[in-house]
Amino acid sequence: MVNPEICTAHLNFRDRDSHFIFGDACTALVLERADAAVSANAFEVLGSQLATRFSNNIRNNFGFLNRCDEAGIGQPDKLFVQQGRKVFKEVCPLVGEHIAGHLQALALAPQAVRRFWLHQANLSMNQLIARRVLGRDASLDEAPVILDRYANTSSAGSIIAFHLHHADLRAGDIGVISSFGAGYSVGSVVIRKC
């Protein structure tokens, strides 16, 4: 599975509220059937779940390609736009409820999760989402942060966090990978170290 996040092209560098947010990145994962797995560093996928709740508060209107049409040239609405405070207030509860509901559907208590690899949108969002799921503040060990090193790389951020912060897990440890964003869309994958 390859996940390129080429965000620079849809940024409006004239908009101080949004142009600094994203970086470009690409991640890749190998998914294989359990009976064919050869890696000593394997994880079992216990479940995956997606949800969308429509919102105009964060969008890019088809991105930079839309600007190629003569009617779109120079139009700021063809680039990334967001109402940051509204997004924060609406996305954090949505993601927290999504993760908690996904864990409940798998008969797992939030306290059973060893690590949360979250989207890395911003530190406050990650902290609030983890607090909503756990009912308390999460430690950096439970919900590692890579923003200081990589910034917001969109949905690639959760996989970068996973890559950098999974080696210490032991067989049986449970983790949640979750990304979220425009639309609003949210996805989560619950995994267990083999």
Q: Which domain holds residue 138?
A: 2-193
Q: How much of the chain, in percent, has pLDDT values that exceed 90?
A: 58
Q: Specify the number of domains making up the chain.
A: 1
For the record, the structure tokens of 134 come out as 């756990």
For residue 19, pLDDT beyond 90 = no
pTM: predicted TM-score of the whole model, two decimal places = 0.90
Percentage of the chain exceeding pLDDT 70: 94
Q: Which tens digit of pLDDT belongs to each residue from 34-81?
A: 888 878 789 999 999 999 999 988 887 766 666 677 777 777 777 888
The CATH number that applies at residue 34 is 3.40.47.10
The stretch 160-177 carries a mean pLDDT of 97
